[in-house]
Structure 1
């Protein structure tokens, strides 16, 4: 694979419009971070009165939204701060970004005129006050559309059929159910909406001065797109709302060019031209924006089938690249944002670090040192002891708060069928700790394999706060049977957006698709994309034994879901 050289004086700008902040990362041609800035919505824009970047309406069936105008004001503010850092906007060859997935923005009829005639003498927020038919955007935390989810699933032939078509069963946070809810409860608002954007597309539209296409990867997070054909699904559209395709616009590959940067941001060429705000070059390209998880995949340099990332945060997220995904009732399948034909699979667990901390506090004297000692002194496979620990209502599997413990009998047997389980009330403290961590990783392995990820993975890149814990990473490598790496740069979404800006620029310049590793294959040792080997792979024999325990765990999990959860 030939490398692709970026112009030595060029810069590439990436954004991440997340739930709580807007981050910006600037890469040079060597793919090193040269500038970064962040706007925290609660503290930097306190007049919106958000908490953690959102408004919560618990009395309204779990409605959670964000003020759309806040993102506009944050964009101007982050660019102003970058200017104060002496960023030379004229050197930026391309811009791209990420947006929190699944959120949606509703443009009122006539808003395209506002977009195409932005006044550089006025702030963005002052020009869009009357541009949105829905002023508070539903976001990924919203859970108010359960009724609409079931209606959409029923209309297409069931939850599994919707997953096969769109990559996921219907989820309350997805844009499709949110759109259906607005159509049903606010029909006049739906009628007055001329364009519906996801958050990534909304931000891209601001940069090109017209409605941007929804990229195929983020479009798959809406319950509306056919993931195989990469077009809007007729049956899913009809199950959601009438006349929806016209309001959504077209789809585009993630590496495509959305357009040139709008005059609002461009440098003044003569004294007689209108004033400017940021001095971007008029030839600066805007590459399609995408979701935050797809951009993180890019920023972590996952590029071939078998690459897997595990983010160990407040919630745990698992995503990787599969060539032949198998959509299920759990998990999600998206087109690969850095390839033309591959796929990205993803799992989301609500019980992550907070549950690990809860078990530490109850069984390991509130000490990570004691917790790690317990992990290291207990034997692999935990003597057949497995546990399901949920401090929060879990979404994978859909089970309520609680704890279930089992001891697997006759574990030395080579066949899963011979393994009988016995439910128990509790283990000793070291067994509780190992049962928790083994259980979390066994679940991740089982469900990624069901979605079509190869076993073992090519490699795992671990991120998030718990990725600093070598004892936890050692267990991860043993269960999956592959090397585990960690990263030096924590802001993988904005970093990935900047890398995708460079990738889109390269594809446009060459006139054909450029494999993204061509940009960094000779730079990984000396750039901000560097990954460091943290723990080498465990033995294949141990990984095979964990496979037996994993299959038994899934059997028990399925029984628990039948008893307590949602089918």
Structure 2
């Protein structure tokens, strides 16, 4: 029984899904990529029977083990489609579907699961039919940090963390899927052996709509510590280190905009989707965010939030042990860089509270009243242990390069904080292979992107114009854009997204910015090297 009526002359629409840690979201956009409908399912409140907190379950006997009930995700698909139906979505107009999901999580399909997927009965919910089709009922997720032993094993297999990063784009991380699979193969060999296929959360969600086990896409697959990011194939040495017959369980990865074929008959019969509605490969949330933020070659996106994150479009990436190189979801010949900095908005708020009476207006007045370059004063502030550089504490330096305990004025302290944070980001962006050029644009997002005084420092340090773009739900919207992009044989991503409102120019660098900040980047590198060696 169909729950919607078939529309005969409906304009094409596209469905994007986002299975994040705490919720499943969906958006339907029209041919101009304008939002028509949205819906969401909150795991904790809408599916209380699974007893998750923040969408996950932490092990009582080992706080480092964090999982999510796989069936909770299945049931959320049933719920969100019903909510879209109530919202009036015409499923018969949806031409293509794509999706995204939290990276690094993994799903273990029991032997025989694909046969079940191919023969779903439209009269029943998905969760009523798939309950016995997972060999591991609780999926490891990105918050898990219980695989230190397996990480060491992967690095040792190829000759150390540097070599692993050269092959896979990252050194071994406990949350990454390779070490998680290795742990299950070692600790639950029966369940592992009874696993027909292993999916990432993204390809698992895709499989439900495709009606068979979907392949892992290049971009999400490059966040597993298993794929050679240059050949786009699984590395045989790493597969062997993880578990037996792993290639067979993973299948071959595919380009991120691959058209995988028609939607499962289940959704045609139950909801009224067109039988030729296409399923485009689903990807991870960070690659989908790159799509949603509409980055192009030579651009970077800077998210200024609790943690600050740099997304970079790279042609020739360099290996950085504490950064991540992923395959680019838009252009298979390019890469994306990902750099995370723990000390973001909370550190800025601390200095604001100390120096500016808890007022951003006063903070900005202090920042703007101090000349660029800050009279040669320089500061680094790390409230919590930073990832890059691996430091904690406040470090202040005067013009002569001496480390000091206190600056002479509040305005010097404020500018030292902001310049130090942004100079660090430029240094590590360059380390990972980014080069500012004539066509470079910076897309600013996150809470602090509303602060033009801070963005002016960003423009000057990078010597590039800064733009603002509506980036709420960028991963979900990126999935919807990818649904349309995947229907095209050409690599016309820019043309497809050109119908959207262009980014808004906020500020441009001053002409003399390189004279001030190029030497400051060099000075930063010198200071950090000495700090890491204990010399300051």
Band of TM-score, shorter chain:
over 0.9
Counterpart of 2:86 (choices 84, 87, 90) is 84
**Aligned equivalent of 2:424:** 443
Unaligned 5+ segments in structure 2 are 1-8
The residue correspondences of 1:279-358 to structure 2 (distance < 5 A) are: 279-304=272-297, 306-358=298-350
CA distance in 1, matches of 2:206, 2:522: 44
Per-residue deviation, residues 11-70 of structure 1 (Å, max 9, x unmatched): 011111111221111111112111112222222222222222222348625222222222
The answer as to 2:512 corresponding to 1:556 is no
Counterpart of 1:429 (choices 407, 410, 420) is 410
**Aligned equivalent of 1:524:** 500
Q: 1:59 to 1:283 in 2, by over 3 A?
A: same
C-alpha deviation, 1:200, in angstroms: 0.6
CA distance in 2, matches of 1:177, 1:374: 48
Counterpart of 1:407 (choices 385, 398, 401) is 398
Instruction: After the TM superposition, list the runs of 4 or more consecutive aligned residues in structure 1 that deviate by more than 6 angstroms.
Output: none
**Aligned equivalent of 1:415:** none
Report the aligned-residue RMSD.
Answer: 2.0
**Aligned equivalent of 1:458:** 440
CA distance in 1, matches of 2:287, 2:477: 12
Q: 1:562 to 1:287 in 2, by over 3 A?
A: farther
Per-residue deviation, residues 108-156 of structure 1 (Å, max 9, x unmatched): 2222222222222222222222222222222222222222222211221
CA distance in 1, matches of 2:178, 2:60: 21
CA distance in 2, matches of 1:487, 1:474: 16
**Aligned equivalent of 2:259:** 257
The residue correspondences of 1:213-252 to structure 2 (distance < 5 A) are: 213-252=215-254
Contact 1:97 1:289 in 2 (8 A): yes
Q: 1:266 to 1:384 in 2, by over 3 A?
A: same
Q: 1:393 to 1:182 in 2, by over 3 A?
A: farther
**Aligned equivalent of 1:504:** 486
Report the number of matched residues. Answer: 525
CA distance in 1, matches of 2:395, 2:31: 52
Q: Equivalent residue of 1:148, what SS?
A: helix
Report the more deviating stretch, 552-561 or 446-455: 552-561
CA distance in 2, matches of 1:366, 1:148: 45
Contact 2:10 2:93 in 1 (8 A): no
Report the more deviating stretch, 109-118 or 461-470: 109-118
Q: Equivalent residue of 1:15, what SS?
A: strand
Per-residue deviation, residues 154-194 of structure 1 (Å, max 9, x unmatched): 22111111111111111111101111122222222222222
Report the more deviating stretch, 491-500 or 355-364: 355-364
CA distance in 2, matches of 1:16, 1:158: 35
Contact 2:308 2:340 in 1 (8 A): yes
**Aligned equivalent of 1:416:** none
CA distance in 1, matches of 2:191, 2:532: 39
C-alpha deviation, 1:562, in angstroms: 4.5
Q: 1:170 to 1:540 in 2, by over 3 A?
A: farther
Q: 1:261 to 1:63 in 2, by over 3 A?
A: same
Contact 2:372 2:516 in 1 (8 A): no
C-alpha deviation, 1:329, in angstroms: 0.7
The answer as to 2:160 corresponding to 1:184 is no
C-alpha deviation, 1:432, in angstroms: 2.8
Contact 1:138 1:178 in 2 (8 A): yes
The answer as to 2:478 corresponding to 1:486 is no
CA distance in 2, matches of 1:63, 1:562: 34
**Aligned equivalent of 1:74:** 76
Q: 1:120 to 1:55 in 2, by over 3 A?
A: same
Q: Equivalent residue of 1:143, what SS?
A: coil
CA distance in 2, matches of 1:183, 1:431: 55
Give the TM-score taking structure 1 as reference length. Answer: 0.88
Unaligned 5+ segments in structure 1 are 1-6, 268-275, 410-420, 508-512
